[in-house]
Amino acid sequence: MTDPRPMLALALDQTQAMIDTVGADDLDRPTPCPEYDVRTLLGHLVTVVGRINLALTGGDPLTIPTVTPGITDFAGAWKERRAVLDDTLSDPAVLAVTCKLPWGTLPGAAAIAAYVGELTTHSWDIAKATGRTDLLDESLAEYCLPLVQQFIPAEPRGGHVPFGPVVEVADDAPAYDRLVAWEGRKP
């Protein structure tokens, strides 16, 4: 596997751009991720950036709640955790560390690639909910699509595979449409 840190940096930048564009009037909007409205999804993303860092530094990411509660400044909380993660990512040794993740134990490079997928999909969720899909970087979806198709089975879905059924889209649909459709979302 090539070094996935540049793609993670791109996914982190895109997520930050999405967070920075969310206004107070957007927070209660539903998202394509059925269990989250925009506010809850932002709290989840703050958790995710902390989980990535914890996984890459030998900790257990499941010790952080799925959604970080009580945040009023999502952009500030994100940037604070992002700065810590950026410092961790600056060491090439993170590519070889052993990471304990909710879905298995992986080398750092594979964990980083998996988190690119999570951030890319949740950025799309926010963009879709707030009408800002024009801000999405198509290269992220193109990078993630073959990974999710390889590692997220088409069947079964639900339970330990926390995605809805694959949604049919055209083979030549944009990469984001194919990515989120594979993950059970309607583009």
pLDDT digits (tens, 9 = 90+) for 79-132: 999 999 999 999 999 999 999 887 789 999 999 999 999 999 999 999 999 999
How far is Cα 85 from Cα 74, in angstroms, rounded to an integer? 16
Mind listing the pLDDT tens digit for each residue in 125-177? 999 999 999 999 999 999 999 999 988 888 888 776 678 889 999 999 999 99
Considering the segment(s) 5-136 as one domain, its CATH architecture is Up-down Bundle (1.20)
- Tell me the average pLDDT across 60-80: 94
Provide the angle, in degrees to the nearest 10, between the axes of the packed helices 175-182 and 108-130. Answer: 110
pTM for the full predicted model: 0.94
Q: Which of 102, 135, 103, 99 is nearest to 120 (CA)?
A: 135
The residue extents of the domains of the chain are: 5-136
Tokens 């963009």, located at residue: 127
